[in-house]
Amino acid sequence: MMVESRRINRKKALLRILLYFVVFDICLFTLYPYFVMLTTALKSRPEIFSMNGKIFPIQAVWSNFVDIWQKAPMAKYMLNSMVIATGSTIIAMLCGIPAAYALARMKFKGQTAFLGFIIVSQMFAPVVLLIGIYKVMQFFKLTDSLLGLIFINAAFNQAFTIWLLRGTFLSISPEMEQAATIDGCNRVQALLRVLLPVAAPGIVTTLIFIFINAWNEYTVALCLISSDTLKPLTVGINIFNGYNMIEWQYLFAASLFAIMPVVILFMSIEKNLTSGLTAGGVKG
């Protein structure tokens, strides 16, 4: 028995080591592009275009992170992106939560076809509809405004919001709403006081994805925004991409600043994601 137990323990230890090795490789593969961005952002222009082939900079040029704020209106670009991403997230959630709740709890004719239409709408990339989007925005005089980008990003994230939140509401027991109705709540009050707190993990997850998609949007913003003061960060950092030369050290430094808000957002609500993932399965 002792020999068999040692063999099992040895096998478990080997499997654990193998699992750690796989996880380490995945993390290394995922984080390596950001490592290259950081090392390139710390290099000088002559070193970037030299043929030494070294990954690490010979001498770190930390002033690159300061120079980008002087060479471009980075604060304005980041503020524009924050306004667009926040506005798009709010509108998408305000429209998506009632729609997802109705699809999860109410039965009506054509519901299956409507759900299929939602899935099909996700198959169209913004670049395919770009001409139509421009014509619509031109008609409403929103071609060079942050409000137009807010509406477009909210619209393109609406289908994803409805589909994901519908699954979250379906995982919550209807008995909880029935109990709230017995206590005197109407359908709206039951949604606000009972269903939404329980569905918080799914709502937070949806919120993160909407914000990230709106923050990273590039194609539509590039075509609709012409004023330099209204450009989001994804479009604004193209100022370091010149006709004759690309200033890679500034471009990567600005890109690192561009990913910081998303990382901070995820880290601040990551605890809510992991703490209540099974809350929707509680029946009472």
Q: Is residue 50 part of a domain?
A: no
20 and 116 co-located in one domain: no
Q: Is residue 185 part of a domain?
A: yes
Quote the pLDDT of residue 51.
65
98 and 15 co-located in one domain: no
Q: pLDDT digits over 8-36, tens only? A: 778 888 888 999 999 999 999 988 998 99
More confident: 177 or 80: 80
Question: pLDDT category, 280, cuts 50, 70, 90?
Answer: very low
Quote the pLDDT of residue 194.
84
Name the residue among 280, 260, 131 with its Cα closest to residue 204: 280
81 and 35 co-located in one domain: no
- What's this model's pTM, rounded to 2 decimal places? 0.84
11 and 151 co-located in one domain: no
Q: Is residue 271 part of a domain?
A: yes
12 and 133 co-located in one domain: no
Q: Is residue 63 part of a domain?
A: no
35 and 134 co-located in one domain: no
**59 Cβ contact list (under 8 Å, min separation 6):** 44
120 and 36 co-located in one domain: no
Q: pLDDT digits over 134-173, tens only? A: 999 999 999 999 999 999 999 999 988 998 898 888 888 8
| Burial zone of 68 (CB within 10 Å; 0-12 exposed, 13-18 middle, 19+ buried) | buried
97 and 7 co-located in one domain: no
Q: Is residue 274 part of a domain?
A: yes
Q: Is residue 201 part of a domain?
A: yes
Rounded to whole angstroms, the Cα distance separating 156 from 121 reads 9
Q: Is residue 251 part of a domain?
A: yes
Residue 222's domain is classified under what CATH number? Answer: 1.10.3720.10
263 and 146 co-located in one domain: yes
Q: Phi/psi of residue 41, each to 5°?
A: -65, -20
Quote the pLDDT of residue 214.
93
Establish how many alpha carbons lie within 13 A of residue 225's alpha carbon, considering only the half-sphere containing its beta carbon. Answer: 27
Quote the pLDDT of residue 284.
40
Rounded to whole angstroms, the Cα distance separating 23 from 231 reads 38
The number of distinct structural domains making up the chain is 2
Q: pLDDT digits over 82-130, tens only? A: 999 999 999 999 999 999 998 888 888 888 888 888 888 777 777 788 8
Q: pLDDT digits over 190-232, tens only? A: 888 888 888 888 888 888 889 999 999 999 999 999 999 999 9
136 and 224 co-located in one domain: yes
97 and 217 co-located in one domain: yes
Q: pLDDT digits over 248-270, tens only? A: 899 999 999 998 888 888 777 76
Q: pLDDT digits over 36-83, tens only? A: 999 999 998 888 888 676 788 888 899 999 999 988 899 999 999 999
Q: Is 246 helix (H, G, I), strand (E, B) or coil?
A: strand
Q: Which domain holds residue 246?
A: 71-281
Q: Is residue 229 part of a domain?
A: yes
| Burial zone of 17 (CB within 10 Å; 0-12 exposed, 13-18 middle, 19+ buried) | exposed
140 and 10 co-located in one domain: no
